[in-house]
Structure 1
């Protein structure tokens, strides 16, 4: 029997220039709030025509006293709970926490989750059209800080009639915004849950992020950030940035136990093939370039590097003394990106934070997303009645 010659390998189509949500895409569960007038920016200038995409669960009380604000991390979005589907490329990133009878019980709470300003899943960011509508913001999108993002979220709260959040919760980048909420608007923050975050970005965090920024900008398809309408995005650079980031999100023992030195399938590393851990990183890179925007990755990473709750407020300790919310601070024991020393600083200097809570997990920084039961216990501690 004669062997049939193998045909050419099927080619995988290139992703679009951006994985951002864009006008004309299915809205999914999103709603939008358009800010009333230009948003003044901390670094100077202003952002005109900004809007925030957001999702809600549950019903607001007549006085909106049951409203909870959930703030996502770097590559998250407003889709905290619910299936993937038209308009939502991934399932909810905190399934198991939001819904009837769950810790953020939607029979009791009105849960609000915005897509951060500068993001790419419906809120104004580099992939969004400029006010004249003729082309995307691209590289002209202004520098944002966490305070600018909180100012936009405060405008959303005003539009929703929320004078005071019953709880503000966030992890990682979301935790940065959560602590900014509590310092900037203490009278509007009733309770506060800070997970795997910091009062200010450290030198090492800035260094890791800086390498990722260089990876994106070194891609020839970056074009100074003006690639959105060219049909080809900086996928190689964004994928490399994601690989670098994902290594810092996990712990060394977990990677060793899970992958060790095992080759990927029949691939021979001695012949140019991959190890399983390399295939794992390739998988996460490919997923991100299809659902995210390189420009947003740059804008949000820069905002994280700029995070310093003590800037212009007499330092971190003085700023944290402004917090009046009942506060729980938790870190992950295996987190090498946001080590427990950073959460210990928050717990020590926020007057209402009794002690540092430790989430036990082998998963590193991602533990705040994975260890749902332990996070649920913290949420319940803050939201229990009586």
Structure 2
């Protein structure tokens, strides 16, 4: 094992003292980087994801060009429905679609839950290759979508603002919903364990659509499965849970075996600290749209954010993924502002 030269993110997750705040950005590998766009012009989305050499090249770009403190493997949360036997289409400008949606017991019975290591070997190959190429410069992050968010896509068949169909499915056929959630959870645990074995130093679970649920429904349909994943992985690698839009669950989630919690920009650092009682490392929560502001404004807002969270048990990040129209020098200004923050 190559020794890590920069282990700030991992130390922050362990609650150890860090000499400065570590920083990375969700979706940092990809869409706003000119070098990524060149590859995008040549290869379709799943070719980029499924070719380890391409995925590695894309994963390394922000480490080289923006100076982040961690690499996150270039992949997609919808590789799990693919591994379960569903077709996933990615259309330019339209987002993902799944032609075959989950409606009945039979649909759920037909899903594959075995052999994820084989079917998603391209992800673990990309992780191993990236790990080698990084040569200990920064830690490598693996990830998966959370069970509730994956259910949303599998039932709805495409993106949605309200996820009415997914919620209707959960509320009218709760038993089926829990069966589906458990199947997704089981395959996801195996997938994340395989990622750690292949070289991921930590993993993040993205529950992008958790905020569509009320507090009571989050407790029913999202939280138990997030907790199962955190428990299953706790001895393998640190786990960051990121259920977007669920400030109401922070206190509960801070008492789980997760090492960190991701936050969106709709909560103040002070409230997040109060809810979590400094029991857990927090990550976030810069509004990605604010990266379009003038650079001096970005730097001022970053300072304000770190002032609010404090410099320990904290990883600076965005409150959701970086947007395609963010200029690279603005992304770099965000990262630099975190690194330049005066700790005294």
* TM-score, with structure 2 as normaliser: 0.30
Greater helix fraction, Structure 1 or Structure 2: 2
* TM-score, with structure 1 as normaliser: 0.27
Larger RCO: 1 or 2 (CA < 8 Å, sep 6+) = 2
Larger radius of gyration: 1
